[in-house]
Amino acid sequence: MNQPVLNENDLKKLFKTPKKKSQYFEIYKFLIALAKFFLLFIFFFFIVNSPAYIKQIDYFLKTNLLKNGYKNRLVNLTDLAKNTPSDKQIEVIKKAQELEKAKKEFELKLVSLIGENQLIAPKIALKAPIIWQSDTTNILKDLKSGVAHYKGSGLPGQNNSNIFITGHSSNFIWDDGKFKQVFALIDRLENNDRIYLVYESKPYIFDVEAKKVVSPKEVEVLNPQDHSLISLMTCYPVGTTLNRMIVQARQIYPTENPTINFEIPNDLLSNQLPAIR
């Protein structure tokens, strides 16, 4: 039986050193793996925070439809006003003033009916119980039951107090509690939007006057100002603890508080703002 004979070319093929893959190919593989990682991260980030984003999208769609309808009605009313006879304008203005007064009285009665220790912001359909005097050790537990008043900050009825209240914008979907997205829409509040609460059977009304994003180290937002106000805080952007969204509203009712002056505790400004998602 004849044995196969290997020639020189066959031997070269057998003992040939395999070519190394190019450096560019290795970089390409690394970039593909990195892209997959980021895509998966973004996918799971939106899945985890989907309730908060759905809430924001729903609000955006509804308010834009309502806003357009309101603009149309406003144009029609303006056109009608132009055609109003001058001898009736005084009567119309008087009726409008009476209506405004009745509206304020009705608003106050409604606030009195919202219930003790409730925070209300009608524009964003926000209604949540307030847990008062919540310290840093209990704040996450308290947020399962509503929104939390930061212990040591101002209380309703104190002169020049800063009532500091925090709530979740998008807590983990697997955590318990009914208020995991309670502050998901506070960034939609604008100047002159109303905020209400009832404390010790007394109604309080606030008008939004400022909105800003701060770092966790900017504890100055806890400081009192030259007027009584309420500050709402949540983590921002939604689903992260990078920064804090602060909405501040001036107290407009009652116009004067009792002579109880608010004094901020020295240790309140020693820490950074809590991370509550």
**Given a cut of 70, is residue 135 above it in pLDDT?**
yes
pTM for this predicted structure = 0.68
**Given a cut of 80, is residue 183 above it in pLDDT?**
yes
pLDDT at 177: 82
- 57 within 8 A of 184, measured Cβ to Cβ: no
- 246 within 8 A of 186, measured Cβ to Cβ: no
Domain boundary assignment for the chain: 116-269
- 172 within 8 A of 276, measured Cβ to Cβ: no
Burial class (CB in 10 A: 0-12, 13-18, 19+), 105: exposed
Helices (H), the chain: 8-14, 23-48, 50-82, 86-112, 139-142
CA distance 248 to 162: 9
CATH top class, domain 116-269 = mainly beta
Task: Average the pLDDT over 58-70 and give the result.
Answer: 63
**Given a cut of 70, is residue 136 above it in pLDDT?**
yes
pLDDT at 30: 77
Structure tokens at 119: 């925070």
pLDDT at 65: 60
Sign of the four-CA dihedral 90, 95, 96, 101: positive
**Given a cut of 90, is residue 256 above it in pLDDT?**
no
pLDDT band at residue 43 using 50, 70 and 90 as cut-offs: confident
pLDDT band at residue 75 using 50, 70 and 90 as cut-offs: very low
User: Higher confidence at residue 89 or residue 78?
Assistant: 89
80-132: pLDDT as tens digits:
455 555 666 667 667 777 676 676 766 777 776 778 899 999 999 899 999 99
- 148 within 8 A of 208, measured Cβ to Cβ: no
Angle at 183 between CA 180 and CA 186, to 5 degrees: 160
**Which range (90-94, 171-175, 201-205, 251-255) has the least confidence?**
90-94
Mean pLDDT over all residues of the chain?
Answer: 79
